[in-house]
Amino acid sequence: MAETWAFLTGHLARPRLEALLTGLPNLPFHPQVIDVGVKVAALMTQAILLRRLKLTDAVTKVIVPGRCRADLDALAAHFAVPFVRGPDELHDLPEFLGRGGSAPDLSQHNTRIFAEIVDASVLSMADILSRAQALDAQGADVIDLGCLPDTPFVHMEAALAALHAQGFKVSVDSGNPQELRRAALAGADYLLSLTETTLDIARDCACTAILVPEPQGDVASLIRAATKAQARGMRFILDPILDPIHFGFAASLGRYLAVRQALPDAEMMMGTGNLTELTEADSAGVTAMLLGLCSELTITNVLVVNVSPHTRRTVQEHDAARRLMFAARREGALPRGYGAGLVQIHDMKPAATTESEITALATAVKDRNFRILHDGVTIHAINADVHATGRDALGFYPQLGVAVDGAHAFYLGAELMKAEIALQLGKRYAQDEALKWGVASDAAPMDQTRHKTAGPTLTMRKGG
């Protein structure tokens, strides 16, 4: 017997929700739409649901709108049936239901992120610790101390001790064998980078050797280094080295393939900075492609660096990409539809409502509060008296009748400018919410159990 799922909604969205559910084929449940007596989902609260909601015994699950502010665990306990938060927009409901009524699971990954502290040799201890803490918060698993040529790292041992005291795993990245010997003796967890001629530096320590070709590009030397390390019982990771575009990039990709084919079980690393740092393109897309390659070749370590301002979110992007690729590979799926945060500028579904849906909404609105939406082509500002359209935020001013209400005009101007930016870039816009930029920016914390406090323009209008 099919389950019955109750979909909670408000007056204005009910017709659209009913039409949407009716049009979805082969649902594995019987849908039941319940109007809880509010105009829009954003007005739905836990107190209202406790007072008004009546469920039949047949209901096995309740889907609440994404913008409903309520403690779902408390509601589930009260009604003795699971409550699940659906998407913010009805437009996204089919995809949500295609996943069995649950959000994508991005909690897992199998890739270790080494995040480099650039020029650590010349940084103070306080700066090293501060940067390590920031990288850890962004998603790094290993703090990589980047050394400088011909610049003594006199406080390396102290830096390693201090970082270990705070619980960090630490690698030391140097081209100087003497520095790597010091790092090994001081207890570094990883040494970057060793070759077939220098791998013995890591032989008598507990660290893991990151092995690279010598000379550059010589896959045979890397395989020989791996063979020697294995024979000596050493822990090692192989990095064939990714080269920049037009300076050996294509050939370096071939080296990763060659090493994986020669050593199918060897642990490998890819340093992504030669692409993210040295390519004038948003780093999120570059990172996604490289982590996709890592996923296919089971490369489970990445070395990440941020020097250029345009890669300021590179650790967060690598963290998102490793979760996206792991989830897609686990499910045997393409890496799309997971909402991992790597789609930052142009959204995959920029319009949450169509022009016809907005027109229907305009006829149903009976109050003077403005609703602002865009349909992917035009911005709409509607209330009981006005249905203004356009593409330029400032062009709406003479249409809205708010010349004598400064606070309201300020609010509408800010919202319309957000809508204009969203329209120009092909992004989703939702009134009273910040535009979403994925992991390119930090999202403000959101308490989904209660509404936000009134903003300054609303407070001013009420004389507060």
Over 70: is that where the pLDDT of 182 sits? Answer: yes
**Closest among 121, 164, 127 to 145, alpha carbons compared:** 121
CATH number at residue 92: 3.40.50
Q: How far apart are CA 210 and CA 191, in angstroms?
A: 6
DSSP string, 112-163: EEEEEETTGGGS-HHHHHHHHHHHHHHT-SEEEEE--TT---TTHHHHHHHH
**Closest among 311, 333, 312 to 324, alpha carbons compared:** 333
Classify residue 320 as left (phi > 0), alpha (psi -120 to 50) or beta. alpha
pLDDT score recorded for residue 462: 61
Q: Are residues 312 and 365 in the same domain?
A: no
pLDDT score recorded for residue 457: 64
Worst-scoring range by mean pLDDT, 22-36, 69-83, 97-111, 333-347?
97-111
pLDDT score recorded for residue 134: 98
In a domain, 350, yes or no: no
Cα 189 versus chain centre, distance: 28
Going by DSSP bridges, is the β-strand pair 29-35/3-9 parallel, antiparallel, or unpaired? parallel
Q: How far apart are CA 445 and CA 46, in angstroms?
A: 20
Band the pLDDT of 103: cuts 50, 70, 90. Answer: confident
In a domain, 151, yes or no: yes
Mean pLDDT of 235-259: 98
Residue indicated by tokens 């705070």: 166
Q: Are residues 258 and 406 in the same domain?
A: no
What is the amino acid identity at position 29?
F
Cα 58 versus chain centre, distance: 38
Q: Are residues 129 and 240 in the same domain?
A: yes
With beta carbons less than 8 A apart as the criterion, state whether 142 and 128 touch.
no
Q: Are residues 59 and 122 in the same domain?
A: no
Point out the domain boundary residue: 98, 124, 145: 98
Q: Are residues 130 and 233 in the same domain?
A: yes
Distances (CA, A) of 458 to 173, 372, 408, 409, 464: 54, 16, 7, 11, 9
Q: Are residues 252 and 384 in the same domain?
A: no
**Closest among 45, 47, 36, 46 to 13, alpha carbons compared:** 36
Residue indicated by tokens 């790092």: 183
- How do residues 74-88 score in pLDDT, each as one tens digit? 999 999 999 999 999
pLDDT score recorded for residue 101: 73
Q: How far apart are CA 390 and CA 135, in angstroms?
A: 43
Q: Which residues contact 388 (CB under 8 A, 6 or more apart)?
A: 380, 381, 382, 396, 399, 400
Helix intervals (H) in 37-124: 46-52, 72-79, 93-98
Half-sphere exposure of 125 (CA within 13 A, CB side): 11
In a domain, 221, yes or no: yes
Band the pLDDT of 170: cuts 50, 70, 90. Answer: very high
In a domain, 347, yes or no: no
In a domain, 103, yes or no: no
In a domain, 292, yes or no: yes
CATH number at residue 222: 3.20.20.20
Over 70: is that where the pLDDT of 195 sits? Answer: yes
Over 70: is that where the pLDDT of 157 sits? Answer: yes
Band the pLDDT of 452: cuts 50, 70, 90. Answer: low
With beta carbons less than 8 A apart as the criterion, state whether 75 and 55 touch.
no
- In terms of Cβ atoms closer than 10 Å to its own Cβ (0-12, 13-18, 19+), residue 334 is exposed
Cα 435 versus chain centre, distance: 14
**Counted domains in the chain:** 3
pLDDT score recorded for residue 455: 65
Going by DSSP bridges, is the β-strand pair 387-390/379-382 parallel, antiparallel, or unpaired? antiparallel
Rg (CA), the chain: 28
pLDDT score recorded for residue 323: 98
With beta carbons less than 8 A apart as the criterion, state whether 107 and 319 touch.
no
pLDDT score recorded for residue 14: 92
Query: In terms of C-beta distances under 8 Å and separation of at least 24 residues, what long-range contacts does 54-61 make, across chains too?
Result: 55/6, 55/79, 55/81, 56/4, 56/32, 58/4, 58/30, 58/32, 59/4, 59/5, 59/6, 59/32, 60/3, 60/4, 60/5, 60/29, 61/3, 61/4, 61/5, 61/6, 61/29, 61/101
Q: Are residues 191 and 307 in the same domain?
A: yes
pTM for the predicted model, two decimal places:
0.88
- How do residues 221-239 score in pLDDT, each as one tens digit? 999 999 999 999 999 999 9
Q: Are residues 83 and 128 in the same domain?
A: no
Q: How far apart are CA 339 and CA 335, in angstroms?
A: 10
Q: Are residues 300 and 363 in the same domain?
A: no
> Which H or E run includes 64?
strand 59-64
Domain with 14 in it = 3-98
- How do residues 26-65 score in pLDDT, each as one tens digit? 899 999 999 999 988 878 999 999 999 999 999 999 999 9
Over 70: is that where the pLDDT of 9 sits? Answer: yes
Q: Are residues 195 and 326 in the same domain?
A: yes
> Which H or E run includes 169?
strand 169-173
Point out the domain boundary residue: 69, 98, 127: 98
Q: Are residues 263 and 289 in the same domain?
A: yes
Mean pLDDT of 4-28: 92
Mean pLDDT computed over every residue of the chain: 94
In a domain, 298, yes or no: yes
Over 60: is that where the pLDDT of 464 sits? Answer: no
In a domain, 106, yes or no: no
Going by DSSP bridges, is the β-strand pair 379-382/371-374 parallel, antiparallel, or unpaired? antiparallel
Q: Are residues 205 and 292 in the same domain?
A: yes
pLDDT score recorded for residue 446: 67
